[in-house]
Structure 1
Amino acid sequence: MAQDQIEALRRMIAEAGRAVVFTGAGISTESGIPDFRSPGGIWTKYQPIMFQDFVASEEMRREAWRRKFATDETMRKAEPNRGHRAVEKLVRIGKVSSVITQNIDGLHQASGVPAEKVIELHGNTTYAKCLDCGERMELDAVRQCFVVEDRLPVCEGCGGVVKTATISFGQAMPEQEMRRAQIETLACDLFIVLGSSLVVYPAAGFPITAKRNGARLAIINREPTELDDFADLVLNREIGPTFGDAVGVN
Structure 2
Amino acid sequence: MANSLAEAERIVILSGAGMSTAAGIPDFRGPEGLWTKDPYAELVSTLSWYLNDADVRKAAWRRRANPEVWAAKPTRAHEAIVELEKQGRLRAIITQNTDGLHQVAGSSDALVHEVHGSMRQWRCEMCGTTGPMEEMIERVNAGDEDPRCPKCGGITRATVILFEEVLEPDVLEAAITAVEECDAIVAVGTSLGVYPVAGLFPTAIGHGAFGVIVNGTETAMDHLAHQVVHGQLDNELPPLLSASA
Instruction: Give unpaired runs (5+ residues) of structure 1.
Output: 1-10
Cα distance in 2 between the residues matched to 1:223 and 1:89:
25
* SS, match of residue 182 in structure 1: helix
Matched, 1:46 2:38: yes
Shift of 1:195: 0.4
| Cross-structure match for 1:58 | 54
Q: Which moved more, 1:145-154 or 1:157-166?
A: 145-154
| Cross-structure match for 1:235 | 229
Is the 1:145–1:152 Cα contact (8 Å) retained in structure 2? no
Q: 1:12 aligns with which of 1, 4, 24?
A: 4
Cα distance in 2 between the residues matched to 1:222 and 1:151:
38
Q: 1:203 aligns with which of 197, 203, 223?
A: 197
1:63-212 correspondence to structure 2 within 5 Å: 63-69=59-65, 72-212=66-206
Q: How many percent identity over aligned positions?
A: 33
- Aligned residue identity for 1:213: H
Instruction: Give unpaired runs (5+ residues) of structure 2.
Output: none
Cα distance in 2 between the residues matched to 1:133 and 1:97:
34
Cα distance in 2 between the residues matched to 1:61 and 1:125:
14
Is the 2:64–2:137 Cα contact (8 Å) retained in structure 1? no
- Aligned residue identity for 1:156: P
| Cross-structure match for 1:4 | none
Q: Which moved more, 1:20-29 or 1:157-166?
A: 157-166
After TM superposition, the runs of 4+ consecutive aligned structure 1 residues lying more than 6 A away are none
Shift of 1:30: 1.6
Cα distance in 2 between the residues matched to 1:131 and 1:93:
40
Cα distance in 2 between the residues matched to 1:213 and 1:128:
36
Cα distance in 2 between the residues matched to 1:223 and 1:201:
19
* SS, match of residue 219 in structure 1: strand
Cα distance in 1 between the residues matched to 2:20 and 2:221:
21
- Structure 1-normalised TM-score? 0.89
- Aligned residue identity for 1:52: S
Cα distance in 1 between the residues matched to 2:145 and 2:241:
48
Shift of 1:98: 0.8
